Amino acid sequence: MKTAVVGVVAVLGYSGLAMGSEQSESKGFAEGSSLVVKARNVYFNRDQRARGAEQSYGEEWAQGFIGTFQSGFTTGTVGVGFDALGLVGLRLDTGDGRTGGGTRLLEQDSSGAKPSYGSLGGAVKLRVSSTTLKYGTQIVNTPVLGMSDSRLLPETVQGLLVTSNELPGLKLQAGHFTALKLRNDSAHDSGNLPGIDLAGAVYDFNPNVQGSLYYSDVEDYWRKQYGGLVWTVPLSSLQAVKFDANLYRTRSQGEALGGDLDNRIWSLAVSYKTGAHTFMLARQQVHGRGDFKYGVEGNSAIYVANSSQYSDFIYEGEKSWQLRYNLDAAPYGIPGLAFMARYIRGSDFTTDTGRDGKAWERDLEVRYVVQSGAAKDLSFRVRSALYRSSDRGGDINEVVVTTEYPISIF
């Protein structure tokens, strides 16, 4: 962490030589402010058909509101600003043995799903040149610290993050965080994050090639290194090939609260886009001791190709491949409509009886975003997943219906 901070400070020193900066373009605290409220409605149904759990069926329906205030920065050499995040979740329907069941949509207590829950957080931010320091409640998304937003309300994290964009094409980040609030819990540190330090860099080699490196240290859990490379090869105005490679290395440390781990996971996805159609083939594999694990640092801290709606195909020794198809219906006269279908098969993962586990998942998704009129930006999304496994997961049927409407207050 000290090395990362020194690196960011060194870049700050360089910023005096920069011809321009983000701070020099500041509009002021009020002038650069915005307030947006997302009204999100989610119906979640999960049938864990062969798990033998006390409750294998979950069905919940809820309405959420996500209010985001972002101020501008004051003018001058050092810009000062403030951000706030307000989250509210309202239960619409569940109960009668349907609440819970692995949906993780609503906050629970001893009586079941709460009728409502929520939280409020804020963060102070400072900016010098093109480097921003932010402290407080935040939504952070990196390969080693990632806040999930796949349910009713997003996860949030509490701590310090420095982001520097001083050099053209290069983004540097360093941070220290001490609390994680889960997506279905209003407690300040419901994720029990013991503390995480992270540092990383994202560099655009050119408009078609981007590389990234990240490191994290989660106290008493593990240390992780991540490397990623995305390379797009344009073939024509309507065609392109894209290569997306990802690699993690995880080693447990301290009390090893996540288990005894020393493993690597890699994935490589190759996609071909032609007009409205995109076809993708992906390969992924886990090597070493233990499953690839994440979650204490957020439920989106996983950048691998076969991370899907239900499973991530990350068990010890697991090999998996994926076929995927995407359709953008705009060229066919229906802008805003998109469709996705994928099939993933995993094999050779460790089970109680040896390394012979097998699994597959099939996902379907349809999404439509209203393009104009009074309901502009209103979105509808339907996702369906089937997961079948010989061990460690059982049989899962899942359907999620999400409606979201962003309301810009100012």
> What DSSP string runs through 274-343?
ETTEEEEEEEEEEEEES----BTTBTT----TT--SS----STT-EEEEEEEEEE-GGGT-TTEEEEEEE
| The pLDDT of residue 359 | 95
2-408 is classed CATH 2.40.160.10: yes
| Three-state secondary-structure class, residue 154 | coil
Which of these, 155, 151, 182, 156, lies nearest to 402 by C-alpha position? 151
The yes-or-no verdict on residue 37 having pLDDT over 90 is yes
Residue of 307 and 58 predicted with greater confidence: 307
pLDDT exceeds cutoff 70 at 7:
no
pLDDT of 164 above 90: yes
Rounded Cα distance, 242 and 228, in Å: 13
Residue range 246-251: average pLDDT? 98
256-268 pLDDT per residue, tens: 999 999 999 999 9
d(CA 386, CA 381): 17
Q: For the residues 20-48, what does the mean pLDDT come to?
A: 94
Q: CA 282 to CA 271: how far, in whole Å?
A: 8
- Gap between the Cα atoms of 198 and 225, Å rounded: 10
Gap between the Cα atoms of 243 and 372, Å rounded: 34
How confident is the model over 280-292, as a mean pLDDT? 97
Q: Parse the chain into domains and list their residue ranges.
A: 2-408
Helix or strand or coil: residue 182? coil
Identify the pLDDT of residue 233: 98
pTM of the model: 0.92
Q: How far are the Cα atoms of 57, 86, 100, 138 from residue 106, in angstroms, in the given order? A: 15, 16, 8, 21
What would the pLDDT profile of 93-142 be if each residue is shown by its tens digit? 987 667 766 788 899 888 888 999 999 999 999 999 999 999 999 999 99
345-397 tens-digit pLDDT: 999 998 877 778 999 999 999 999 999 999 999 999 999 999 999 877 778 99
Work out the pLDDT band at 16, boundaries 50, 70, 90.
very low
13 confidence band (pLDDT: 50, 70, 90): very low
Query: Mean pLDDT across the chain, nearest whole number?
Result: 92
Is pLDDT of 319 > 60?
yes
